[in-house]
Structure 1
Amino acid sequence: MNSVMGMVTRAKAEIENLSPQEVADELRRGDVLLVDLREPAEVAGGYLSGATFAPRGMLEFHADSATPYHLDGFREDRRVILYCGSGARSALAARSLQQLGYRDVAHLDGGYKAWIAAGRPVQT
């Protein structure tokens, strides 16, 4: 039987996993779409500056330009970095975007918790 954590492990083997330092470096360089996949109640506690909010359940609809739910900023040729609370949802989401044709996708390994633990700034 498969498990969700098995799925996360397999996804992480197929995607780019970034540390908080690597994400911070990429954000400084610019032209990155940073996507917060958490639910509104989670975001209320703080978020990474400049993030676009796309709860995990709507990500594929926001990323697909053929849907009425498409969000500006999502482009298959743009660098996209995803994050969630601890890195599991974002790993699955990064793999999903790859399957939609996104070519330059990564996620913050360890998620928002890793960002906080590294002493990185957040917006409230």
Structure 2
Amino acid sequence: MSEPTGIDELLERVRAGYPRIEPREAYDAAEAGAALLVDIRYAALRERDGVIPGALLVERNELEWRLDPRGSHRLPEATGHDVQVVVVCNEGYASSLAAESLHRLGLHRATDLVGGFQAWRAAGLPVTGGEQ
């Protein structure tokens, strides 16, 4: 039996498997219609901090079912395996694991936002709602 993998090692291994995307690049791609931003943060964080305008809100536990282009529970935006999906979590950790899971479903252009929603907001990119 092999030695268990720690989360830091797992994140490093997962992130080496695809290029991650910085907030400004993600914003530009979404604005150009070249990327689909998917916010997987739980509701309390979205209510507290706000949301990225135009991002799909998909709870983490539903992500694969909603984005699998062949799935019976897919969202209309899940049109094919070539869609560039940018997964957004709060700080860019859970999104890395989520993007890797999407790769396993054949979404080969799936990636995640470096630094997550907090980096997006810190970059001064658009956010709506949230507590003032």
| Fold shared, TM-score > 0.5 on shorter chain | yes
Aligned residue pairs total: 124
Contact 2:87 2:95 in 1 (8 A): yes
* Residue 107 of structure 2 is aligned to residue 93 of structure 1: no
Structure 2: gaps spanning 5 or more residues: none
TM-score by length of 1: 0.90
Contact 2:65 2:71 in 1 (8 A): yes
Please give the residue correspondences for 1:1-124 in structure 2 after superposition, counting only pairs within 5 Å: 1-45=4-48, 46-74=50-78, 75-124=80-129
Q: 1:57 to 1:15 in 2, by over 3 A?
A: same
> Where has structure 1 moved over 3 Å in runs of 4 or more?
65-68
Structure with larger Rg: 2
Letter in 2 for 1:86: E
Structure 1: gaps spanning 5 or more residues: none
Post-superposition CA distance 1:81-118 (Å, at most 9, x none):
11100111111111111110012112111101111111
Compare the two structures and name the one with the higher strand fraction: 1
CA-CA distance at 1:67 after TM superposition: 3.9
What is the identity percentage for the equivalent residue pairs of Structure 1 and Structure 2? 34
Letter in 1 for 2:83: R
Letter in 1 for 2:102: L
Pairwise CA RMSD: 1.5
Post-superposition CA distance 1:42-94 (Å, at most 9, x none):
11121111011111111111122444432120131212111100111111111
TM-score by length of 2: 0.85
